[in-house]
Amino acid sequence: MHKLFDAARADQPGPMSYLAAKGLVDRVRTGDAVLVITGAGTPPFMPKGETDGPPGAASVARALDVALGAKPVVMAEPHCIEGVIASVEAAGVSCLPEEMFPVRGGRARALAFPYGPDTRGWVREVVDTYNPKAMVFIEKGGPNEKGVFHTILGTAKTDDVMAYGHYFVEEAQARGIFTIGIGDGGNEIGFGRVHPKVKDIQPAGQKCLCPCESGIATVVGTDVLICAAISNWGSYGLAAMLGLLTGRLDALQDEETQWRILDANVRAGAMDGASARQIMGEDGVSVKTSMALITMLHQMISNGSRELSRGF
Ligand SMILES: [Zn+2]
């Protein structure tokens, strides 16, 4: 993990959460849409998805709402969108119809992202409809150079369980829209920035377990890559930094809300990715540890905010 982190950090001109948050603050105005795209863990092993991804999307959606007054548009595959909605709503952001947007805050749109390659038209229509100023991809699998999606272990993921999130990256690049990728393994959208490094670092980087034999590393990169030990943790880091840069320290959820976000996702069927069980964990890390991380992040931005207010 630390090797991936070092590779991602060395490839970019500053701290990753800072670059991502600054990019959002510079571009997103009140009411602007930001796409938040997630969805990992696939049927039949994880029929409702996994817990790394949706809580991160909930945290980022909440931070976009609180810190920037933005309009989060959250997306995931049909098998896990209900769990994403449950997490977002546990974060205090209600998934509501379009007509509610002009009249109230604390709201997001939620869309089921259809599977497979025949979705270019759908993707273009979403971008035309919402005119997003940024896109955030959280634990969202991207294809390798042969166009194949993989698990971190090296097995292939088939088109009947994967949405083509990289179509959104292609739309963003064509239209000059800012993109952020948050991942923890090198097979997620964003890591195309450091594709050769992922191939060297990951055990299944050079050679996967599927007939493509080209490894798990994705070729899809983003303007900013946030590499974290757990993708959700990278998302909480982004929420914290959005809070620091805007002075809205409450943009990062508190510890109790962190518990509720994960609980809602697990009750909706999501599984801990490490154990494949419906338990209160993210990638094998207990909710208590993530709550402690939230405590530390709040301490960091609280101290940082005090220094900034002194003109430090
Ligand atoms: Zn393969």
Q: Which domains does the chain have, with CATH numbers?
A: 2-309 (3.90.1640.20)
Cβ-based neighbours of 93, under 8 Å, separated by 6 or more? 58, 61, 62, 65, 72, 106, 107, 108
Q: How far is CA 30 from CA 25, 64, 132, 238, 245, in A?
A: 11, 10, 12, 18, 16
Average pLDDT over residues 151-178: 96
- Taking the centre of ligand 1 as the mean of its atom positions, its distance from the CA of residue 117, in whole angstroms, is 17
- Taking the centre of ligand 1 as the mean of its atom positions, its distance from the CA of residue 278, in whole angstroms, is 28
pLDDT in tens, 194-234: 999 999 999 999 999 999 999 999 999 999 999 999 999 99
- Taking the centre of ligand 1 as the mean of its atom positions, its distance from the CA of residue 208, in whole angstroms, is 5
Structure confidence at residue 198 (pLDDT)? 98
- Taking the centre of ligand 1 as the mean of its atom positions, its distance from the CA of residue 83, in whole angstroms, is 28
Taking all residues of the chain, what is their mean pLDDT, rounded to a whole number?
Answer: 97
Structure confidence at residue 104 (pLDDT)? 86
- Taking the centre of ligand 1 as the mean of its atom positions, its distance from the CA of residue 94, in whole angstroms, is 39
- Taking the centre of ligand 1 as the mean of its atom positions, its distance from the CA of residue 147, in whole angstroms, is 9
Burial class of residue 69 in the structure, from the number of CB atoms within 10 Å of its CB (0-12 exposed, 13-18 middle, 19+ buried): middle
d(CA 125, CA 111): 12
- Taking the centre of ligand 1 as the mean of its atom positions, its distance from the CA of residue 108, in whole angstroms, is 36
Query: What's the pTM value of the predicted model, to 2 decimals?
Result: 0.98
d(CA 85, CA 241): 24
- Taking the centre of ligand 1 as the mean of its atom positions, its distance from the CA of residue 209, in whole angstroms, is 6
Average pLDDT over residues 29-35: 96
- Taking the centre of ligand 1 as the mean of its atom positions, its distance from the CA of residue 303, in whole angstroms, is 46
Average pLDDT over residues 223-252: 98
What b/e string do you get for 295-310 counting C-beta neighbours within 10 Å, with b at 16 or more? eebbeebeebbeeeee
- Taking the centre of ligand 1 as the mean of its atom positions, its distance from the CA of residue 216, in whole angstroms, is 7
Backbone φ and ψ of 41, nearest 5°:
75, 120
Over 60: is that where the pLDDT of 312 sits? Answer: no
Residue with tokens 């943790």: 233
Closest CA to 288 of 255, 244, 253: 255
- Taking the centre of ligand 1 as the mean of its atom positions, its distance from the CA of residue 240, in whole angstroms, is 36
- Taking the centre of ligand 1 as the mean of its atom positions, its distance from the CA of residue 123, in whole angstroms, is 25
Over 80: is that where the pLDDT of 192 sits? Answer: yes
Structure confidence at residue 103 (pLDDT)? 86
- Taking the centre of ligand 1 as the mean of its atom positions, its distance from the CA of residue 299, in whole angstroms, is 43
For the chain, strand residue ranges (E) read 33-37, 71-76, 94-95, 107-112, 134-138, 149-150, 156-157, 178-183, 224-227, 281-282, 285-286
- Taking the centre of ligand 1 as the mean of its atom positions, its distance from the CA of residue 205, in whole angstroms, is 10
d(CA 165, CA 38): 8
- Taking the centre of ligand 1 as the mean of its atom positions, its distance from the CA of residue 139, in whole angstroms, is 19
- Taking the centre of ligand 1 as the mean of its atom positions, its distance from the CA of residue 283, in whole angstroms, is 23
- Taking the centre of ligand 1 as the mean of its atom positions, its distance from the CA of residue 207, in whole angstroms, is 7
pLDDT in tens, 260-269: 999 999 999 9
pLDDT in tens, 77-115: 999 999 999 999 999 999 999 998 888 889 999 999 999
Structure confidence at residue 309 (pLDDT)? 84
- Taking the centre of ligand 1 as the mean of its atom positions, its distance from the CA of residue 241, in whole angstroms, is 36
